[in-house]
Amino acid sequence: MVDFYENNNANVHRGVHALSLEATEMYEKSREQVAQFINAKDVSEIIFTRGTTEAMNFVAYSWGLNNLQKDDEILVSLMEHHSNIVPWEIISKIRGFKINYVNTNPNGTLNIKDFENKLTSKTKLVCLNHISNVTGVVNDIKYLSKIVHDYGAIIIVDGAQSVPHMKVDVQDLDADFLAFSGHKMLGPTGIGVLYGKKVLLQQMEPFHGGGEMIKDVTFNFKNQQCITSWNELPWKFEAGTPNICGAIGLAAAIKYLNHINMSNIFAHEQTLTKYAINNLKNLNKITLYGPTDSNRCGIISFNITGFSSHDVALFCDSYGIAIRSGYHCAQPLHQILDLQSTARASFYFYNTVQEIRRFIEILQEL
Amino acid sequence: MSAVSADYIARIEGTCGAESDIIVVLKFDKKDQALEKLLKNATLKNQIADMIYNFTYKEHVFRFYASGRIIFKGIKDKQTLNKLIDSLLL
Ligand SMILES: Cc1ncc(COP(=O)(O)O)c(C=O)c1O
């Protein structure tokens, strides 16, 4: 990113001068790297966004507003992050369709029976995260997308917690849309990705209007109106000056992750998670949430009797350990699990067993 | 909040979660002085690992962390919080 700002900084797709061409090449190369990383069929299926949240809003406004109507239904799981709930609530108020919420089991896993019961011929869309940011539960998207497609619906997958931690192959999962954020995978903030199947993106109206996303804006002198036509994919969806350096930074992060290898990352995090769960569960005053089997990732939410989650986070912070506390932007999940809030430790591949041991020692002091 | 109290405080943060705790972040170079004031004005109930100081003051309970944060529980409004802070950092 420093290299870009020092040597190639210019706007993309605009000038014919050398700097602009270099910047454009770097930006578009980044898109190719993202496409390869998630095995998209076509590079035009990758739209750069500000992050997962913007990607979800993108689909809600661009696809939802134009495709969902009064008698339609959508399914949203109760384990979703607010970014995969609130946009649909907003659009449903405008379009009048019904949102059916899918329950979770007491251990935080998706209630498949409820999912299957609520999926009907009226269902047009299913909104589901790949990995819960509260319990670390991994949803079997490949299996679920097959059922969803059998009903003629489409599925949007929140990959914010999966893409950084495991190999995600959009073709294998058969996801119609997938959203993720750069800052959760060693990239910079303010950059993220919406993957969409080309056939869907082609039918969709633009989310934002402005420069770069148009082919023509022709002023008709007779009727004093402008006639607009859209650019090709993916630029039809990238109005205005994009976060060029952010995309380049994300591609650099992907290069690094590829170098370490996503399978190695997943395996290491599984080791850390097992170690943490096995040792944390022996602590006196702790309650752990989420399943205890292996179908979960390196996210561990818990509470300690006598302390609020914020107390636990402040205590850990005193020792230089950063954990989160509160609802983690997933209030409905906390409500159905009957939790006031939770403290949450999460691991990445740079964490070590020693660090987790130290974390557990510190918790023991409470 | 009085100017004296404000001088100790960097930020006040609300939290999410049903508990709605309030976290007062003290200025780093003022945290030790603030602790002295708390020890003088409130009742220290106990201490955990030299890191947490559990205090009570009238009907209020709060915790001071050695990192310079104070977490207040069950405070309903800003006015009550400001008044409480003023009495504690007097
Ligand atoms: C599962 C999940 N979805 C969505 C988001 C929102 O991501 P962003 O804030 O980058 O848009 C997060 C962030 O915490 C998340 O964990």
Whether A310 sits inside 8 A of B67 (CB atoms) is no
Strands, E assignment, A306-366: 324-326, 342-346
Residues A188/A249, Cβ–Cβ less than 8 Å: yes
Look at residue B76 and tell me whether its pLDDT is greater than 90.
no
Chain B: closest CA distance from residue A36 (Å): 38
Asked if the C-beta of B90 comes within 8 angstroms of chain A's C-beta atoms, the answer is no
pLDDT at position A211 is 87
d(CA A119, CA B77): 44
Structure tokens at A289: 């949430």
Using the mean position of ligand 1's atoms as its centre, give its distance from the Cα of residue A81 in Å: 7
Whether A341 sits inside 8 A of B18 (CB atoms) is yes
Peptide bond into A234 cis (omega under 30): yes
3-state secondary structure of B24: strand
Q: Which residue of B has its CA nearest to A341?
A: B17
Which of B28, B51, B69 to substitute to test the interface with A, most A CBs within 10 Å?
Answer: B51
pLDDT band per the 50, 70, 90 thresholds, residue A204: very high
User: Where in chain A do CATH 3.90.1150.10 domains reside?
Assistant: 262-365
Q: For residue A53, report the phi and psi dihedrals to the nearest 5 degrees.
A: -60, -45
Ligand 1 closest atom vs CA A181? 10
Whether B17 sits inside 8 A of A309 (CB atoms) is yes
pLDDT band per the 50, 70, 90 thresholds, residue B2: confident
pLDDT at position A157 is 98
Q: Which residues of A touch B65 (CB under 8 A)?
A: 314-315, 317-318
pLDDT at position B23 is 95
Lowest mean pLDDT among A190-194, A207-211, A333-337: A207-211
Q: Which residue of A has its CA nearest to B18?
A: A340
d(CA A242, CA A19): 16
Distance, first Cα to last Cα, chain B: 11
pLDDT at position B50 is 85
Q: Crossing angle, helix A18-37 and helix A244-260, to 10 degrees?
A: 40
Residues A146/A90, Cβ–Cβ less than 8 Å: no
Residue B42, C-beta contacts closer than 8 angstroms, at least 6 positions apart: B55, B56, B57, B62, B88
pLDDT band per the 50, 70, 90 thresholds, residue A327: very high
pLDDT at position B90 is 87
The model's pTM = 0.94
User: Where in chain A do CATH 3.40.640.10 domains reside?
Assistant: 2-209+241-259
Q: How many CA atoms lie within 13 A of A265 on its CB side?
A: 21
Look at residue B5 and tell me whether its pLDDT is greater than 90.
no
Structure tokens at B8: 């100790």
Q: How many helices and strands, by DSSP H and E, does chain B display? A: 3, 6
pLDDT at position B17 is 87
Residues A185/A166, Cβ–Cβ less than 8 Å: no
Q: Which of A226, A245, A297, A329 is catalytic?
A: A329
Look at residue A142 and tell me whether its pLDDT is greater than 90.
yes
Q: Mean pLDDT over residues A329-338, rounded?
A: 95
Residues A125/A64, Cβ–Cβ less than 8 Å: yes
Chain B: closest CA distance from residue A340 (Å): 5
The three-point CA angle A64-A68-A69 to 5° equals 145
pLDDT digit string, tens, across residues B24-36: 999 999 999 999 9
Point out the residue among A314, A319, A366 whose CB comes nearest to the CB of B71: A314
Whether A326 sits inside 8 A of B17 (CB atoms) is yes
Residue A189, C-beta contacts closer than 8 angstroms, at least 6 positions apart: A51, A182, A183, A246
The more confidently predicted of residues B17 and A94 is: A94
pLDDT at position B49 is 85
pLDDT band per the 50, 70, 90 thresholds, residue A192: very high
DSSP H stretches of helix in A168-231: 170-173, 198-203
pLDDT band per the 50, 70, 90 thresholds, residue A292: confident
Interface of B with A in 11-50 (CB under 8 A): 15-19, 21, 23, 48-49
Q: Mean pLDDT over residues A19-24, rounded?
A: 92
Ligand 1 pocket member A51 (CB < 6 A): yes
pLDDT digit string, tens, across residues A60-103: 999 999 999 999 999 999 999 999 999 999 999 999 999 999 99
Summary mean pLDDT of chain A: 96
pLDDT digit string, tens, across residues A166-180: 999 999 999 999 999
According to DSSP, residue A110 is labeled B
Element (H, E) at A147: helix A141-150
Look at residue A127 and tell me whether its pLDDT is greater than 90.
yes
Q: Which residues of B touch A326 (CB under 8 A)?
A: 15-17
Ligand 1 pocket member A162 (CB < 6 A): no
d(CA A345, CA A302): 8
Q: Mean pLDDT over residues A177-186, rounded?
A: 98
Reported ipTM: the value is 0.87
Q: How many CA atoms lie within 13 A of A178 on its CB side?
A: 30
Residue with tokens 């950092």: B89
pLDDT at position B12 is 94
- If you classify domain A2-209+241-259 with CATH, what class do you get? alpha beta
Look at residue A199 and tell me whether its pLDDT is greater than 80.
yes
Ligand 1 pocket, mutate which of A48, A59, A83, A158 (most atoms under 8 A from CB): A83
Look at residue A254 and tell me whether its pLDDT is greater than 80.
yes
Give the rounded percent of residues in chain A with a pLDDT score beyond 90.
95
Give the rounded percent of residues in chain A with a pLDDT score beyond 70.
100
| Whether A297 is catalytic | no
Distance, first Cα to last Cα, chain A: 42
Domain A262-365 fold? Aspartate Aminotransferase, domain 1 (3.90.1150)
d(CA A182, CA A284): 37
The three-point CA angle A294-A345-A283 to 5° equals 80
Residue A25, C-beta contacts closer than 8 angstroms, at least 6 positions apart: none
- Quickly list DSSP for A82-101: GGGTHHHHHHHHHH-PEEEE
Burial call A323-344: b when 16+ CB within 10 Å, e when fewer: bbbbbbbbbbbbeebebebbbb
3-state secondary structure of B90: coil
Ligand 1 pocket member A81 (CB < 6 A): yes
Q: Mean pLDDT over residues A198-220, rounded?
A: 93
User: Using CB atoms within 10 A of its CB, is residue A189 exposed (0-12), middle (13-18) or buried (19+)?
Assistant: middle
